[in-house]
Amino acid sequence: MDRKLNRPDGAGIAIALGLLALAGVIWWDATQLSAGSPYGLGPDAAPKVVAAGLAILAVLNFISAWRGTMPHRERGDLGPIFWIVGGMVALIALIALGGGFIIATAILFAATARAFGRKALLADLGIGFGLGFGAYLLFAKLLTLSLPMGPLERLL
């Protein structure tokens, strides 16, 4: 299942560069802080240690990516990932626009089921709607959690 490339590994190099960028952002942010207590460590010490560690690890990851010794899983399909992430984005947009919890849930449910190979999108929307409805009644009404409100929720 795992395999090793024996040539420079593009994804591994991208990961190393990402780590280096994260280290840079943390370091830059730490320099913006003003020193705190007269004794001991200020608030910028820990970020600088973490940033330095990340930079070292970026280099080590880069070396192993360059040598092609990073373990690689088999390639996965991108289609299902777009469906799930799309479902999450739709859920966030709907909640931000005041569409409410139940409808947003139905869409996420249907999109995820589609990602796992179900073709009956409308039926899954119905099941997701039922699940969202039940979950809303149980958690918002019975356990008094605050869930996003929309037109449907206001009717209940």
92 binds other proteins (CB under 8 A): yes
84 binds other proteins (CB under 8 A): yes
In Å, how far are 2, 18, 66, 68, 129 from 61, measured between CA atoms? 18, 11, 8, 10, 45
Q: In the complex, what is the shortest distance from the CB of residue 8 to other proteins, in angstroms, rounded to a whole number?
A: 15
Q: In the complex, what is the shortest distance from the CB of residue 117 to other proteins, in angstroms, rounded to a whole number?
A: 6
Residue among 8, 10, 21, 25 that touches other proteins (CB under 8 A): 25
Within residues 26-65, the interface with other proteins by CB under 8 A covers 26, 29-30, 33-34, 36-37, 39-43, 45-47, 50, 53-54, 57, 60-61, 64
Radius of gyration of the chain (CA): 23
Within residues 132-151, the interface with other proteins by CB under 8 A covers 132, 135, 139, 143-148
102 binds other proteins (CB under 8 A): no
7 binds other proteins (CB under 8 A): no
Least Cα distance to 5 among 65, 81, 82 occurs for: 65
Least Cα distance to 3 among 77, 65, 76, 72 occurs for: 72
Task: Write the CB contacts of 88 (distance below 8 Å, at least 6 apart in sequence).
Answer: 108
If the CB atoms of residues 142 and 155 are measured against other proteins, the closer one turns out to be 142
Residue 29 to residue 11: CA distance in whole angstroms: 27
Q: In the complex, what is the shortest distance from the CB of residue 156 to other proteins, in angstroms, rounded to a whole number?
A: 16
